[in-house]
Amino acid sequence: MPTPTRRAARTALAAAAALTAVTALGAAVAPAAAADPSPPPPVNWGTVLDLSAPAQANAWSLRVLGRGVGDDIRVAEAHHPAAPGTPALVSTAPERTYRLATRHYTFGSLRGVRSATADRKGAVTASSHLERVTLGLPYLTKPGMPSAPPPVLALELTGADVSASSARGKPLALATTTRSGSVSAYGTKLRTFKEAPAANTGLRVPANPLLPAQALVTLNEQITTDAQGHPSTAALGGYRRDASATSGYVNAAHMTLLTPEPTDMTVAHAAVIRND
C-alpha cells in the first residue's frame, strides 16, 4: 500500500512545482509502513475525459510531473476513447529508444514501448509494455559534469508489462510482470528482482523514519478507484483496496523525489474505469 509519506510528496509537488492538474541522507531503504495512508490523488489514474462515459482507459510508458521537466510529460500515451494526441494504440519498433533529457541534465531512456487501450465485447482494457527502461532522479548525468554524483534514486527494468481490465459484472483485474529490475540510491543497489515484486512494495530513502524522506518508490503499484478515478477509501478516509471495484490502475513503478526539486515518475501505466 502507498506509504504515508506520499502525502508529503504530493504536497511538495503541488507547492514547489505549482501543478494545477496534480498534485546527502544515506542510501538506506525501508518497507512501506502499514499505517492508514492518505489516498493517492485522482489525477494518478490519468485523464478522465467524460464522467458519463460507460468505459474509459488510459495507458502510457512514462509520465513525469515536475516543473523542472515541463510540469506534465507523458511518453507513448494511449486513451480510450481516443482523443487528439492520444490514440487508442501507440507502438514503436523494439529497437527505438526514447532519450529523456532537459537543457540541464539527462534522466533516462526507454526502449521498445507499446501502450494500448480498448473496449471490446463489454471489457475495457489498458496495457503498457517497456522492453527496457533506465531512469534517474534528479538526473542520470549532467552535461559538462562527468564527475557528477550518482542520482538520489535510479530504476532499471527489462521486459515490463502491466495490464488493467474490467468486464461488465466482474471485478477489476490488475497485473504486472517483469523479467528483471533494480532500484538504487546514491549508486548503491537497494533491491534487485527477477520478477515483479508483491503489489505495492514500498521503499523509502532514507530508511530512518526520524529523518526527512528524500525519495519514495512503489513497485507494482496497484490502486482501486471509483468511476471518476478517485482511489478507494477506508472509513476514516485513508486508502483501502476495494476487492469489488471495477475501476483502478497499475504502475510497474512509481518514483517520487521530494528534494531538491520535487519530481514524480510513473513507469508502465495502465488504468481503466467502468461507469455502467
Would 54 be classed as within a structural domain?
yes
pLDDT digits (tens, 9 = 90+) for 257-268: 998 888 999 999
pLDDT at 7 over 80: no
Would 251 be classed as within a structural domain?
yes
pLDDT at 140: 83
Would 114 be classed as within a structural domain?
yes
User: If you count them, how many residues does the chain have?
Assistant: 276
Would 211 be classed as within a structural domain?
yes
Residue 30 is which amino acid? A
Report the phi/psi class of residue 234: left, alpha or beta, with left for phi > 0 and alpha for psi in -120 to 50: beta
pLDDT at 163 over 90: yes
Would 23 be classed as within a structural domain?
yes
Would 1 be classed as within a structural domain?
no
Range of the domain at 147: 6-274
pTM for the whole structure: 0.84
What is the C-alpha to C-alpha distance for residues 198 and 40, in angstroms, rounded to an integer?
Answer: 19
Give the C-alpha distances (Å, rounded to integers) separating 170 from 98, 167, 176, 244, 275.
37, 5, 19, 8, 13
What is the C-alpha to C-alpha distance for residues 133 and 237, in angstroms, rounded to an integer?
Answer: 35
The total domain count for the chain is 1
What is the C-alpha to C-alpha distance for residues 177 and 270, in angstroms, rounded to an integer?
Answer: 13
Confidence of residue 22 (pLDDT cuts 50, 70, 90): very low
What is the C-alpha to C-alpha distance for residues 114 and 173, in angstroms, rounded to an integer?
Answer: 20
Contact criterion met (CB below 8 Å) for 252 and 270: no
Residue 136, C-alpha cell as written in the block: 534517474
Contact criterion met (CB below 8 Å) for 267 and 130: yes
Alpha helices in the chain (DSSP H): 6-17
Would 252 be classed as within a structural domain?
yes
Higher-pLDDT residue of 25 and 31 is: 31
What is the signed CA dihedral for 127, 131, 135, 140, rounded to 10 degrees?
-160
Residue 83, C-alpha cell as written in the block: 482523443
Contact criterion met (CB below 8 Å) for 224 and 241: yes
pLDDT at 42 over 70: no
Would 16 be classed as within a structural domain?
yes
